Each structure stands twice: as C-alpha cells, then as structure tokens.
C-alpha cells in the first residue's frame, strides 16, 4: 500500500492543523485565494486572445468559442510539465523562499499577487491587452528590491536573481517581435502559395468560412488555448506550491511518491558534491559560517561572481546535514515529518548554489557535470505539482476566460487593424502564437500570449496593407511599457506595507 496515499496525507494534514496557529491557516487560505484569483484574472487577458480570431471570422459563435477555449486551457494546465512554474519561483529571493511561512514570506506572496491582480484588472477594464507574465515578474522584482533595501546591506541589487530575470525578460521582449514578423511573413507566403481570394477577404455577414479554413482556425484556437494553459497556468501553480511548502511542509516539501531510486540518486549526488566542496574548503574561516552556513550560500546566490573557501565549507555542511536527514530511507514517509521542511530548504539552497556555480563557469568540467546532475536529482524530488493544484488552477483560468473575455476580444478583433480581420490573418496570427508559446513551454520560459497574438495580428495587418489603428497600438504599447515599472513599484510598496502589518500581528 502507498504510505503516502490519501489516508497518509490526511493524517499528516491533521498533525499540521494541531501545530499551526489559526491565524496562519487564515493567511494560508487568503494566499491560496489570491493565487487562484491571479489565474482567474489571467483568463480575462491572455486566454481571451485565443478566441478573438475564431469569433471575428465567424468560425464559432462567441459562447461556444469561449467554452471551447476554456476546456482546452483546462487540458493544457493538467498536462503541463511544471518547468515554467519553478522558473518563476527561482526569480524570488532565496532567503524569502526558504522562509515563506514567516511574516516576510507571507508579505512576499501577498504583495506580488495583489500588485499583479491590480494591474491586470486595471488594463482589462480599459480593454488593453497586457501581459500577466510581465505583471507577475515586475511584482517579483519589486518585492526583491524592497527586501534587499530593508536588509542589512541596503543594496537594492541584492534582492533579485538578475541572471534568471534577464533570461525571462529576453523571452518576453523577443516573443512579440517574433509574433509580428513571423505572422506577417506567414501571411505573405500564404498569399503566394494559395490563390483563394476568400482566404484574404473579410467575412460576409455572419456566414462561417469554408470548411477547410474553419478547420484551420479551430485548430489554431485549440492550439493557442492548450499552449496558454500549459505555459501561463504554471505561474499560479509555482506560487501555490511555494505557499504549501512553507505552511504544510510535512505534505508538500518533498514529493511523497519519490521512488527509492530517486532518493538513492539524491544521496549519491549530495555526497559526491559534499566531497568536492570539502576538498575546496581549505582555509575557510569556520567561525564565520558555523552558526549559519545557509546565509553564506544565500549571499552567494545574490552575487555569484566568485567562489570562496567559506562557500564550499557551507555547502559541505548543508550537504552533510541533508544526507543525515535522508539517512538510508527508501520512502519519503520514513523521514520524520518535522524534518521535511528543513530538508526542503537545504535542498533548495544546494540546488540554487549549484545552478549559479555552473552557469557562471566557476567549476572545472567534471565538477560542472556533477553540479548539473545534482540539480536534476534535487528537482526530481522537489519540483512537482499535485493534481489537485493543477485542477484548481485550470478551473480558475477557464472561468476567467468565460467571464471576462469580451473587452480584450473586441480590442484584438476590431481595434488593432483598420479593416476587419480576414480568415488568413486570423489563422497566421494564431498559428504563430501557438508555436511560439509551445516552444517556450518546452524551454521552461514564461512568455505572454497577449503580446505574441496581439503583435501577430498587427503583423498580418501590416503585411496585408490593411493599416493599423495607431491610437490603439499606441495605447497597447504604452500599457506594455508601463507594466514592468508600475508593477515593480506596486510590488515594492505592498511588500513594505505587508511587512509592517504582519509585524503588528506578531509574525516576524
């Protein structure tokens, strides 16, 4: 019998209920509500883009189109890999991630979610397509900067994983350019190869397009909806897992279904890395690290420019501590539940440091290979999404699509170009969006469905000589430009406010 089955999880949950205060459970419920609300509002924006082309080409009536899109968003979320989810988590300050159950951890979660929701609702109200990815990442940067300014160093650059932020930022900046150029080029090629004038003329009345064109548009709508669910839906999942790991570690800190082989690989990788670190820790000032080796590692993740004996000694100590917690167990259920939270924090620190050491080329080739293997072994037992979390996010995203779709759909379908969207334009824009988002999902990069599809529609209008409504384009671009700085400001301000409020409630 599976020792971590439903009955086992309920037993652990009841044990946690006894030890966690009522106030903390209330904050947990509020945090989960905000995370699902973020995905609900996300459905207003990004998912609505998927149905704009099928509605404005009369491929499907509005209500069936929205239901269709919501269903495939649901499936996309359920089948997502989780790579994007934990990519978002890796943007957060390490010291807040490993202490998410504390006052600062709660303040982080509340502020970044609240600021993202505020901006998304505001831009939706004015019918402006905006990126949920940009809003969330801007909020994360704001929280990181505020946290750094309030730390002992007062150095604002310490608070953000700038390497990961740059990687994500480049994906978000390049994807709309790809959407515009690729959709324009695809429409030009289509015009050369396909000599059917119906494909490139506006729909007449409410008549649906010819069968094969309708099938193509249905396919691209389905693909964009599915790809959006598999990519954007993961952002909420990552935050929900962060919350659950911090508050209910006995159930969610480590994947309960981890196999004995995964645990053996983890032990072996940590022991191997600890031995390497021991060989490079000569001369370390142990007085500086004996009380808190985790801080030394956390400081390195903010400034991964060089290694020190103190870093390697800290990694050796934390690695040895992790191996002791793992013992010789063959199942996660054999690890004392009160130790799971500490084990997860140690593994996260080790993984973060190993990733930084590898990416910054601070290891020799053989050690670099071992560091990557170590990260993979840790991810195998920590980076997972329970089915119920996927279902909750999928429902929130789908409901958001069905309720708030119209404002954004009208903008994409009527206000970007000067003429009505043609069948060919709709198909090109959605096909490019589907392929771009699917590729980003494979690579674990968050991209904006809104940016890719809106820019794709604009690209087809330009390639078709239809003309652009510059006022709408200007407003959309302005919203895109302002999203990051506004959300950085909101995230930082709400984080500071949240810290003070939670401190007043006795959570530090």
What was the pLDDT predicted at 236? 82
What was the pLDDT predicted at 204? 74
Angle between helices 449-464 and 48-56 (to 10 degrees): 30
First to last CA, the chain: 41
With a cut of 50, which residues of the chain have pLDDT below it? Answer: 1-6, 8
The DSSP annotation for 125-181 comes to HTT----HHHHHHHHHHHHHHHHHHTSSS--GGGGS-HHHHHHHHHHHHHHHHHHHH
123 neighbors 130 (Cβ within 8 angstroms): yes
What was the pLDDT predicted at 218? 87
What was the pLDDT predicted at 272? 93
Q: What angle do CA 139, 143, 146 make, to 5 degrees?
A: 135
What was the pLDDT predicted at 238? 84
Per 3-state DSSP, the chain is made up of helix, strand and coil in percentages (nearest 5) of 80, 0, 20
Q: Is 468 helix (H, G, I), strand (E, B) or coil?
A: strand
The burial class, CB within 10 Å (0-12 / 13-18 / 19+), for 170 is exposed
Q: Which two tokens mark 7?
A: 């009955």
What residues contact residue 187 under an 8 Å CB cut-off, 6+ apart? 424, 425, 428, 459, 460, 463, 464
User: Residue by residue, what is the 3-state secondary structure of 90-135?
Assistant: CCCCHHHHCCCCCHHHHHHHHHHHHHHHHHHHHHHHCCCCCCHHHH
What was the pLDDT predicted at 168? 64
Q: Can you tell me which residue has the tokens 């090109």?
A: 428
Q: Compute the distance between CA of residue 137 and CA of residue 131 in angstroms, rounded to an integer.
A: 10
Q: What is the 8-class DSSP label of residue 66?
A: H
What was the pLDDT predicted at 178? 86
Q: Compute the distance between CA of residue 77 and CA of residue 419 in angstroms, rounded to an integer.
A: 35
């Amino acid at each position: 019998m599976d020792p971590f089955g439903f009955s086992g999880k309920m037993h652990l949950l009841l044990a946690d209920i006894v030890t966690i205060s009522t106030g903390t459970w209330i904050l947990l419920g509020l945090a989960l509500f905000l995370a699902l609300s973020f995905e609900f509002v996300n459905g207003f924006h990004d998912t609505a883009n998927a149905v704009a082309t099928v509605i404005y080409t009369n491929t499907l009536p509005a209500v069936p189109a929205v239901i269709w899109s919501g269903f495939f968003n649901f499936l996309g979320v359920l089948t997502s890999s989780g790579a994007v989810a934990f990519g978002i988590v890796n943007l957060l300050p390490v010291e807040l991630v490993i202490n998410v159950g504390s006052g600062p951890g709660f303040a982080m979660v509340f502020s970044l979610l609240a600021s993202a929701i505020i901006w998304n609702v505001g831009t939706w109200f004015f019918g402006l397509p905006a990126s949920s990815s940009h809003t969330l990442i801007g909020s994360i940067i704001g929280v990181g900067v505020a946290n750094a300014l309030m730390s002992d160093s007062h150095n604002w650059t310490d608070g953000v994983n700038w390497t990961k932020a740059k990687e994500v930022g480049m994906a978000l900046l390049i994807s709309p350019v790809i959407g515009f150029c690729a959709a324009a080029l695809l429409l030009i090629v289509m015009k050369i190869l396909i000599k059917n004038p119906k494909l490139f003329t506006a729909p007449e009345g409410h008549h649906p397009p010819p069968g094969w064109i309708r099938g193509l548009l249905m396919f691209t709508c389905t693909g964009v909806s599915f790809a959006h669910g598999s990519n954007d839906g993961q952002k909420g999942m990552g935050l929900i897992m962060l919350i659950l790991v911090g508050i209910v570690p006995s159930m969610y800190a480590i994947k309960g279904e981890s196999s004995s082989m995964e645990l053996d690989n983890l032990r072996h990788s940590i022991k191997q890395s600890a031995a390497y670190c021991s060989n490079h820790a000569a001369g370390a000032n142990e007085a500086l690290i004996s009380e808190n080796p985790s801080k030394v590692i956390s400081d390195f993740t903010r400034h991964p420019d060089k290694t020190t004996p103190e870093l390697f000694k800290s990694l050796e100590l934390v690695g040895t501590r992790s191996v002791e917690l793992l013992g010789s167990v063959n199942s996660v259920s054999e690890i004392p539940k009160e130790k799971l939270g500490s084990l997860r924090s140690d593994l996260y620190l080790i993984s973060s440091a190993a990733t930084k050491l590898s990416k910054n080329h601070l290891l020799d080739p053989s050690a670099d290979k071992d560091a990557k293997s170590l990260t993979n072994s840790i991810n195998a037992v920590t980076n997972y999404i329970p089915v119920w979390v996927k279902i909750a996010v999928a429902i929130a995203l789908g409901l958001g699509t069905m309720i708030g779709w119209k404002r954004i759909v009208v903008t994409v379908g009527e206000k970007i170009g000067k003429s009505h969207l043609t069948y060919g334009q709709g198909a090109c824009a959605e096909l490019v969006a589907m392929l771009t988002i699917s590729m980003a999902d494979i690579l674990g990069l968050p991209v904006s469905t809104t940016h890719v599809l809106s820019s794709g529609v604009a690209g087809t209008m330009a390639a078709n000589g239809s003309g652009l409504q510059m006022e709408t384009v200007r407003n959309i671009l302005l919203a895109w430009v302002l999203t990051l700085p506004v959300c950085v400001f909101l995230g930082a301000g709400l984080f500071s406010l949240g810290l003070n409020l939670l401190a007043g409630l006795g959570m530090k």
